[in-house]
Amino acid sequence: MNNGANNTVTAEKKKKVLSLIQPTAVPHIGNYLGALKNWTQMAKDYDCVFGVADLHALTVRPDPALLRRQSLETFALLIAIGLSPEENIVCVQSRINTHAQLAWILNCYTQFGEASRMTQFKDKAANQADNINVGLFTYPILMAADILIYQADYVPIGEDQKQHLEIARDIAERFNGLYGKTFTLPEPFIGKVGARVMSLQDPTKKMSKSDPNPKSSVSVLDSPDTIMKKFKSAVTDSEAEVRYAPGKEGVNNLMSIYSGCTGMNFEQIENAFAGKGYGDFKTAVAEAVIEELKPFQQRFKELMDDKVYLNECIDKGTEAATAISRRTLDKVIKKIGLL
């Protein structure tokens, strides 16, 4: 008689990924194509925690009503892109008190010199000289707590956040060295690379939510008419030929966006628009973006019209995230001698 246990294939445990998004502004099409669009696949391949980093938003002292609304919208946005709250942990950072508790403990295991070297603090302090608060300075330690509390193996980060991941690793290594293996050392997440989207008005710069020129970026919640107008006013060149080449940054950018929405490669795009002018191409790019965002925008609207369901989802995420993060915090508390 065969032992059934011998025939059982143990599934490989999925690696953990943490990704939080600040609720300070509506994401643009660059955020969507470069990262958000890939999160649904990432959720299938990894054990993921997604969340709204509302505590991080406090460093700029936002208007309370605006922060509350934007936090709810950002949470709805995460579900609207396809992150089912039944299959994923989707949460709001401030609702999970373990983050702030661990952040204080990690403050005591971070050297002042380490925190002082964070270049993003210097940049942000220069931009808000009248409000250089301690939260702005300890921001990376809260980020470290966000990551380490879930024992994340990977964290998707941009170029400007490499230092923050490095300090999280340094803190974890220091703590592990003192008390034994407690935290997983996180690595940068290298997943599918999305389109690198540049400004529609200055294609030598990345598209940015903070750009003062409203025509430079396309929000994921822009109306079809607004999207069409912005793409029709996009900077190109005088050559009037749709091809990917050095010196044609404006056209290259539009081709990247079109490729991200349609799946066509650059050669296919060049062939499809051979003999056609930029007017036709800009219209086609706008239509592709509108079509890409249509189901997302529809789902977002449905969610925002059902606040009861949204709050139920937040409660579900809070419960799941607290249960996981509490295990790490309890381990830390025991190791450092707190009752």
Q: Give catalytic residue positions.
A: 124, 206, 209
C-alpha 96/C-alpha 163 separation (Å) is 25
What's the token pair of residue 107? Answer: 């403050």
3-state secondary structure of 150: coil
In the block, residue with structure tokens 């964290």 = 155
> For residues 298-313, b (16+ Cβ closer than 10 Å) or e, as one string?
ebbeebeeeeeebeeb
In the block, residue with structure tokens 């070297």 = 117
For every residue of 76-113, DSSP letters joined together read HHHHHTT--TTTSEEEEGGG-THHHHHHHHHHTTS-HH
Q: Are 157 and 188 in contact (CB under 8 A)?
A: yes
C-alpha 67/C-alpha 25 separation (Å) is 10
Q: Are 141 and 107 in contact (CB under 8 A)?
A: yes
What's the token pair of residue 226? Answer: 């607004």
C-alpha 3/C-alpha 9 separation (Å) is 13
Q: What are phi and psi of 208, to 5 degrees?
A: -135, 140
| CA gyration radius, the chain | 22
C-alpha 306/C-alpha 326 separation (Å) is 30
Exposed/middle/buried for residue 338 (C-beta within 10 Å: 0-12, 13-18, 19+): exposed
Q: Are 232 and 283 in contact (CB under 8 A)?
A: yes
